[in-house]
Chain A
Amino acid sequence: MNSELLIKNGRVIDPANDIDEKCDVLIIDGKIAEVGKIEKDAQTIIDAAGKLVTPGLIDIHVHFREPGDEEEETIASGSAAAVAAGFTSVVCMPNTNPPIENETDVEYIHRKGRQARKTHVYTMGAITKKREGVELAEMGFMADAGAVGFTDDGNGVQYSAVMLRALKYAAMFDVVIAQHCQDNGFAGSGVMNAGYYSTILGLPGIDTLAEEAMLWRDIQLVKKTGVRYHAQHISTAGSVELIRAAKKDSLPITCEVTPHHLLLTDECCAEYDTNYKVNPPLRTAKDIEAIKEAVSEGLVDALVTDHAPHLQSEKELEFLAAPFGIASLECALGLYVKALLEPGILDWVGLIRLMTEKPAKIIGVDKGTLGVGEQGDVTIIDPNAEYKVDVSKFRSKSRNCPYQGWKVAGKVEKTIVGGEIRFSVGD
């Protein structure tokens, strides 16, 4: 028996197919069957009048902490949080305990994702064994098992020769190599941006050079190898300049930004609130301006949360001792609206493009569009609904979110994964 789901009267935004019009979307047996004016009865009909109907949102940078730190988050709790935030696909980072470094690990993540039955759960694999930056991990086996890219996220690959080898080797598999750009020599034991605030707060700083030096080096390696490279969570004006130049040279380089690097500055650390301790650290207003300029120029390819859950007991420490990370998955869309849509940097089409089509391309999956025959992943958004961020209602296991009490607009009404309604507002 066919299962049919018809979404009627919404403003359908499908950047990949240049669609932005009021029409209907029909999903049959979990696949997009038709987009247009559809006069038809269906088992399930959703009236989306006044709402946006978009391809399912994709976040290519989350930490679900499984295996190893299940008290902070699990794939079940993380993907429940994701689906409630409109995401239909997420990419887990491999810095788990133990890290994701062979095909068995990759399959484990996939299995836990399927069992959770919320979003599609992908994973990246580690570039190097134990993420130590010395010996290559089994990238081939992991790619065959479905890993959608490689990164030592949390660490940057320090040795230039190792990074060069990783890029060369990856050429066999048509996968993306992603980097957390951080030269440890410059970063030292830093816990926040190196600047005026680190000086008066008496905290060791992380210079912007830590990110920029590694990004510059990696760009040279990409020039040499031609392998696809993705700069994760860029945070500085200098990184924007490097990306601008690299794209001008038509290098196969993409980059992503997080809500916090669009909305928060190092001044937020002034009260030693560890919810603002994140890596890369919060920078300055000048950096935010540069990153927003990059978004408006089309230099940024993906919006990601870098959702990094931690327990309250771990964050209730001295700023120096608390772990890095912000858990923002569940208010992500509202934060992007505040950072990019409200100031007019992006319109809805532009915003959705950076949350669907473009990130799907980076990881090389057939997702992020409403093309006929594609998987029926759809997000329905009420663009005008305002709400207050309330961390106590998060489905995530963690509450380390500095946006508590923020008023944001853009609320997810329904999230449909493979033609199945996995989240409805009020759930």
Chain B
Amino acid sequence: MALKRKNKQFRWRRKHLLGLRDLSAEEITYILDTAEGFEQISTRSVKKAPPLRGKVVCNLFFEDSTRTRNSFALAASRLSADVIEFTKKVSSVSKGETLLDTAKNLEAMGIDIVVIRHSAGGAPKFLSRNINVCVVNAGDGFCEHPTQGLLDAYTIRKIKGSLEGLKIAIVGDIAHSRVARSNMWAMTKLGAEVIFVGPPTLMPTQVGRLPVSVSYSLDEVIEKVDVINMLRIQFERLGGNPFPSVREYSHYFGLTVERMKRAKPDILVMHPGPINRGLEMESEVADGDNSVILEQVKNGLAVRMAVLFLVNQAAAQNY
């Protein structure tokens, strides 16, 4: 049973946020509750609070990112931390300084929290084992993107009150999506029913063992769901030719105005961004009344503040 209000007995003990798979419903709820408290900081005239004063947060990004990186930077600075940016585009097997050496250097500089995005699944866990600073995963390969999962859950909870019993469709390239995975862990733990929708060639191996159902037909699913989360087709990650053409993909899996007519009137339309307008979603839908896409971005800030706050607190208390 997911807890709705702040649980006074609960203590957050993790100094890393590596993924949502290992988190309990109680832990996820605790992060969301904490984020609620931080949301109003952004509405003040002085948009700053002191809990991370004197702490250094490093944005260690090995993949392109604008919104996640800026969101973390802003979250850290709202909590009064100093932020350093370390952006380096590398292929997973490129020579040169190893990830471990890079991280050890940062550790030596006295970093308190590393926010890492990397193309290799498991890179944040690898760091957390090898350096003595807090590690926050900002996306690793197609493993997890925990703060995205959290902010999506937060957005739904804020509008619908709870995730318990909701039907949520996640549509698109599930196989290569860390967002789909983190969404799945967070939403199912909070009591929602998740449906993965996409062509079989974009479903992960042994999807049947995941706590979701699978559909190859958006048309069948669209009428049933309370929330629809449209993934971005990530052309840079697609291996080979998993669908014959963009046109054909859009025909079967695009969220069009036509399809929206058959959806529940209060359906929430989500997208982790950036949107390929006209591909996975028509502009009228992206900008329509059911869209909460910008709400997601706004909530991301509060969620990331909560995460930075909590891992830092756990580190300070030597958990």
Contacts and interface: CB of A to CB of B under 8 A. Distances in A.
Contacts of B118: 318
Interface stretch (B40-48, B203-211, B223-231): B203-211
B49 interface: no
Interface stretch (A27-35, A56-64, A200-208, A356-364): A200-208
Q: Is the interface of A mostly helix, strand, loop or mixed?
A: loop
A319 B122 contact: yes
A198 interface: yes
Contacts of A207: 205
Given A196-B209, A199-B209, A202-B178, 17 more contacts: A196-B206, A199-B204, A199-B206, A201-B121, A202-B141, A203-B143, A205-B205, A272-B121, A272-B122, A272-B126, A318-B99, A318-B123, A319-B122, A319-B126, A320-B92, A320-B121, A320-B123
B120 A200 contact: no
Contact of B239 (A188, A194, A272): A188
A316 B207 contact: no
Nearest to B145: A202
B92 A316 contact: no
B119 interface: yes
Interface string B119-131: 1111101100010
Contacts of B298: none
Contact of B120 (A198, A271, A319): A319
A271 B22 CA distance: 12
Contact of A320 (B120, B207, B209): B120
Contacts of A196: 205-206, 209-210
A169 to B, nearest CB: 34
Interface string A200-224: 1111010100000000000000000
A353 B126 CA distance: 42
Contacts of A321: 92-93, 120
B215 to A, nearest CB: 18
B142 A202 contact: yes
B141 A200 contact: no
A131 to B, nearest CB: 19
What size tier do the contact residues of chain B reach?
20 to 34
B140 interface: yes
B143 A189 contact: no
A317 B122 CA distance: 10
Given A201-B143, A202-B143, A318 B205 contact: no
B74 to A, nearest CB: 27
Contacts of A205: 205
Interface residues of A, number: 22
A199 B141 contact: no
14 contacts: A196-B205, A198-B205, A199-B209, A200-B181, A200-B210, A202-B122, A202-B141, A202-B142, A203-B121, A316-B100, A318-B122, A318-B126, A320-B121, A320-B141
Nearest to B100: A316
B144 A320 contact: no
B21 interface: yes
Contacts of B206: 195-196, 199
Contacts of A319: 120-122, 126
Contacts of B141: 202-203, 320
Interface string B129-163: 01000000000111110000000000000000000
Interface in A276-320: 313, 316-320
B66 interface: no
A55 to B, nearest CB: 43
B170 to A, nearest CB: 14
Nearest to A323: B93
Query: Which interface residue of B120, B178, B207 has the most chain A CB atoms within 10 A?
Result: B120
A319 B99 CA distance: 11
B317 interface: no
Interface in B89-132: 92-93, 98-100, 118-123, 125-126, 130
Contacts of B181: 200, 202
Contacts of A189: 239
Contacts of B144: 202
Interface in A313-357: 313, 316-321
A135 B187 CA distance: 54
B269 to A, nearest CB: 26
B148 to A, nearest CB: 14
Nearest to A188: B239
Contacts of A316: 98, 100, 130
Contacts of A272: 121-122, 125-126
Contacts of A200: 21, 143, 181, 210
Given A316-B98, A318-B99, A320-B92, A202 B205 contact: no
A205 B176 CA distance: 12
A310 B125 CA distance: 22
Interface in B168-201: 178, 181
B207 to A, nearest CB: 7
A86 B144 CA distance: 46
B268 to A, nearest CB: 26
A193 to B, nearest CB: 9
A318 B120 contact: yes
A194 B175 CA distance: 12
Contact of A201 (B122, B207, B210): B122
Contacts of B204: 199
Nearest to A189: B239
Query: Which interface residue of A189, A200, A316, A319 has the most chain B CB atoms within 10 A?
Result: A200
A417 B209 CA distance: 52
A317 B205 contact: no
